[in-house]
Amino acid sequence: MVAEIAVNVASLVGTFHFYVPRDLEGSLQAGHLVTVPFSGRDAQGVVVGLHDDPPDDLPIERLRPIIDLIDPAPVLTRAQLDLAYWISHTYLTPLIDAITLMFPPGLARQAETVFCLAADDEDGSAATGSPEVRSPSPLQVNLLALLEKRGGSLRSGQIDHALPRQNWRTTAQALVRAGRLTKFTRLEAPALRAKQIRTARLIAEAALLAQVREHLSRSAAKQERLTAALDFLAEQARPVDVAWVYAASGCSLADLRDLAERGLVDLADAEVWRDPLAGREFVAEAAPPLTAAQASAWERIRPALAGTDSGAFLLHGVTGAGKTEIYLSALEAVLAQGRRAIVLVPEISLTPQTVRRFAARFPGRIAVWHSQLNEGERYDTWRRARAGLVDVIIGARSALFAPLPGLGLIVLDEEHDEAYKQDPPQGVAYHAREAALHYAKQIGAVCLLGSATPDVATYFRARRGELTLLELPRRVMGHTQKIQEQAARLNLTSVFRPAGELAQSIDLPPVEVVDMRQELRVGNLSSFSRRLSTALHETLSARRQAILFLNRRGSASFVFCRDCGQPLKCPNCETPLTHHAGARELQCHHCGHHEPQPEACPKCNSRRVKYFGLGTEKLVDEVRAAFPEATVVRWDRDVTRTRGAHELILHQFTSGQADVLVGTQMIAKGLDLPLVTLVGVISADVGLGLPDFRATERNFQLLTQVAGRAGRSLLGGQVILQTFQPEHYAIQAASAHDYAGFYAREIAYRKDLGYPPFRRLIRLLYRHTQAERAEAEAGVVAAQLRMRIKDQKIVGAELAGPAPAFFGKIGLEYRWQILVRAPDPATLVRGLP
């Protein structure tokens, strides 16, 4: 028998054939992880197929045998293997790279080799006849003695430990060849317990605390850390993750242990999900009765789940329309059948409330797959999932590849989010939404997509009937009990109205659009329009909170005129130009056109041509200067990179210790903030002019989501949108909460220009440390493609470029790109060098 194997060497194209040894015949299956000889060493590989005969051009004598089976359970299910083939084919990636997407990181390192004394060797009688044994080297003697002493077998890690810094592996190989040792490989078993996070809680009485507080340490620095930790803990009602304490006080685990020894603090292990509102907000443990709109959507999904047919649904409804409640109903139905589910969210650390709702509804049956798990923890989660010990996995895009047996449902929340797309150099290219739709169909599961602002292409597919479109037009907003508890805690009178048996609602917030050109005309050069400034004053004096949102995407290089509001465009192809400060020029990333940085606007001759690049930091300074009485906190990637900082900032804001939150796209996701009554969008346009056909759509999605942040308050709320292009349809539609209106304009525009979903676009990227090489190679490929299009007479195919990529240089590499637009560009490109 012959096995076809994808050898685990990154980016290795193709599969290889190996001979299946007798002892593995019958047990070997597709999906098994094995060791094979490859280029003179042992490599791991995954069995992708078993055949009776070798391929025609390869006589069986030339095949080398598989060395070992590493784990008796396959590392990939048959369904996952098929999905890997699909990813490899669709995204033009080597099969092995698609397969390793489904491994937990470090799987290779988890495999350990076990060495045993050969059977006839156990009594110590030396075998004879082999040259190595007749004159054994000192290391051979040591190794054999070690094995004998330790019961005849040891793992490689144990031998490393016992014989440090010695090259015992070569010696061991020689002994294996001589028949003195046998070896086999296996995967480490998972740790028995799930991820445990240590928590801290203040247990000291106030009197004791007052007594010891000032005399905790002779070191002034330590004294300061310890008191800071105690002060922070004193504010917390419940045990908190120690990471918070570290971030808040600068103390270490050793410091906390110190406090624990004195009986001031209790340290505990508990599976915790860090949610800044945990313990402060009511989370329904039982399913509430569905509202009428929810019930009619659910009646469409239920039959698909009951059968084993696959089904794909798009659930469209504004934030707070009750989509998550539908996901929960679907989960309940699937779990009741003994099947399992995967729930994907764009970014897990930004959706703690959602995670907590799932965990509250299905306690003990959920595992969270997130980026803060370390390698060992991920491996454990993976092992538990493979063993069927987990019923639901919630996580970011890669959670789609969890090896859950009996999968019945895949949920993708916020399906429009870019985080679902993985692009090199981050890793293998794939889109989790497309992969999920394909996977669900392949295994007969239901795929449920949800969004307030569906991707235009997804909505288009739903309208064409490829997905079932379900609309939840009205807001639910909140469970009656949650609203009541919030109102009581904050001492407010809620303006929400009943909307179902246990549901409360409120209308979408009014959105005001402010024309920033007018502000300039009256000489207001600050970042705040007069309208926003007044509204901020009102909000602060009413002791309410405000969010200021800054769209920073690509802002550093976007060029536009402050007087006519026009982005500067390429004379050849109308693509907005980007500014490259280094070269002091403007570049078109579509056709390669470049021109010197202009002094005046080509349209209206104004000299106020700006390279837009306001950062959050500068904005914070401006707010502080204009509103000295306000406490301002900043929330963006730079700040939240530190572990724990993110929760801390939110905690500060949700507990009312800050008045204004300044942030970037991150604040569009996430939380319900009951005291926020004003959302100000500082610059609604940035992003509209980016050289990407999706830029308008992204801007619309973002503005709609940011607008949805306001008006979730018990007190209602308002949104102020500042813009230089008030007449732009994306801004008009976002301010009217009008998805349908936006969709109609956008889809017509794309149809006109032949953009997706009408034709597809592929980007080929060439990277090289030498600028000329990157350009030259891209040029060669572009010429080949043009030939193909001509030879094969392909209609509707076009190339743009080669041109420098949007990020023309990353690190030391120069990047050139070619855009291929065609009905099926993958077929056109497949097989190119």
The Cα–Cα gap between 722 and 515 comes to: 6
Neighbours of 593 (CB within 10 A): 16
Q: Kindly state the smallest distance separating residue 393's Cβ from ligand ADP, in Å.
A: 19
Q: How many of the chain's residues bind ligand ADP (CB under 6 A)? A: 21
Q: Is 416 in the site for ligand ADP (CB under 6 A)?
A: no
The token pair at 582 is 């280094």
Q: Kindly state the smallest distance separating residue 454's Cβ from ligand ADP, in Å.
A: 13
Query: Which CB atom, from 712 or from 759, has the smaller least distance to ligand ADP?
Result: 712
Q: Is 386 in the site for ligand ADP (CB under 6 A)?
A: no
Report helix, strand or coil for 83: helix
Residue 694 interacts with, from Zn ion, ligand ADP, none (CB under 5-8 Å by kind)? none
Q: Between β-strands 497-498 and 609-612, what pairing exists: parallel, antiparallel or unpaired?
A: unpaired
The token pair at 268 is 């505990």
Query: Which CB atom, from 249 or from 575, has the smaller least distance to Zn ion?
Result: 575
Q: Is 159 in the site for Zn ion (CB under 5 A)?
A: no
The Cα–Cα gap between 618 and 629 comes to: 18
Residue 288 interacts with, from ligand ADP, Zn ion, none (CB under 5-8 Å by kind)? ligand ADP
Query: Which CB atom, from 66 or from 570, has the smaller least distance to Zn ion?
Result: 570
* 521 sits in which H/E element: helix 516-521
Sheet holding 594-596, edge to edge: 594-596, 585-587, 578-580, 558-561, 609-612
Query: Which CB atom, from 571 or from 796, has the smaller least distance to Zn ion?
Result: 571
Query: Which CB atom, from 443 or from 673, has the smaller least distance to ligand ADP?
Result: 673
Q: Is 312 in the site for ligand ADP (CB under 6 A)?
A: no
- Contacts (CB under 5 A) with Zn ion, residues 547-576: 561, 563-564, 570, 572-573, 575
- What is the secondary structure of 569-582 as a DSSP string? B-TTT-PBPEEETT
Q: Is 819 in the site for Zn ion (CB under 5 A)?
A: no
Identify the residue among 93, 324, 654, 713 touching ligand ADP (CB under 6 A).
Answer: 324
Query: Which CB atom, from 47 or from 472, has the smaller least distance to ligand ADP?
Result: 472
Q: Is 588 in the site for Zn ion (CB under 5 A)?
A: yes
Q: How many CA atoms lie within 13 A of 400 on its CB side?
A: 32
Q: Kindly state the smallest distance separating residue 320's Cβ from ligand ADP, in Å.
A: 4
Q: Kindly state the smallest distance separating residue 800's Cβ from Zn ion, in Å.
A: 8
Q: Between β-strands 594-596 and 585-587, what pairing exists: parallel, antiparallel or unpaired?
A: antiparallel
Q: Kindly state the smallest distance separating residue 234's Cβ from ligand ADP, in Å.
A: 30
Q: Kindly state the smallest distance separating residue 313's Cβ from ligand ADP, in Å.
A: 14
Query: Which CB atom, from 325 or from 377, has the smaller least distance to ligand ADP?
Result: 325
Q: Which stretch binds ligand ADP (CB under 6 A): 167-175, 245-253, 317-325, 506-514?
A: 317-325
The Cα–Cα gap between 488 and 468 comes to: 41
Identify the residue among 6, 69, 154, 290 touching ligand ADP (CB under 6 A).
Answer: 290
Q: Kindly state the smallest distance separating residue 688's Cβ from Zn ion, in Å.
A: 15
Identify the residue among 31, 239, 311, 317 touching ligand ADP (CB under 6 A).
Answer: 317
The Cα–Cα gap between 615 and 548 comes to: 12
The Cα–Cα gap between 507 and 572 comes to: 46
Q: Kindly state the smallest distance separating residue 360's Cβ from ligand ADP, in Å.
A: 10
Q: Is 669 in the site for ligand ADP (CB under 6 A)?
A: no
Q: How many of the chain's residues bind Zn ion (CB under 5 A)? A: 15
Query: Which CB atom, from 67 or from 601, has the smaller least distance to Zn ion?
Result: 601
- What is the secondary structure of 654-718 as a DSSP string? HTTS-SEEEESGGGGSS---TTEEEEEES-S-TTTTSSSTTHHHHHHHHHHHHHHHTT-STT--E
- Contacts (CB under 5 A) with Zn ion, residues 600-639: 601, 603-604, 606
Q: Which stretch binds Zn ion (CB under 5 A): 588-596, 644-652, 744-752, 791-799?
A: 588-596
Report CA 282 to chain centroid distance, whole Å: 27
Q: Are 46 and 76 in contact (CB under 8 A)?
A: yes
* 470 sits in which H/E element: strand 468-472
Q: Which of 562, 599, 563, 435 is nearest to 102 (CA)?
A: 435
Q: Which stretch binds ligand ADP (CB under 6 A): 142-150, 205-213, 217-225, 290-298?
A: 290-298
Note the helical H segments in 413-479: 432-443, 456-463
Q: Is 284 in the site for ligand ADP (CB under 6 A)?
A: yes
Q: Which stretch binds ligand ADP (CB under 6 A): 164-172, 261-269, 391-399, 500-508?
A: 500-508
The Cα–Cα gap between 568 and 586 comes to: 9
Identify the residue among 4, 121, 325, 685 touching ligand ADP (CB under 6 A).
Answer: 325
- Show the beta-strand stretches assigned E in 330-405: 340-344, 366-369, 392-395
Cα distances (Å, whole numbers) of residue 74 to 85, 174, 383, 401, 565: 17, 30, 11, 14, 59
Residue with tokens 């997905």, as numbered in its chain: 467
Q: Which stretch binds Zn ion (CB under 5 A): 26-34, 486-494, 584-592, 812-820?
A: 584-592
Which chain residues interact with Zn ion by CB under 5 A? Answer: 561, 563-564, 570, 572-573, 575, 588, 590-591, 593, 601, 603-604, 606
Which chain residues interact with ligand ADP by CB under 6 A? Answer: 284, 288, 290-291, 294, 317, 319-325, 476-479, 482, 500, 502-503
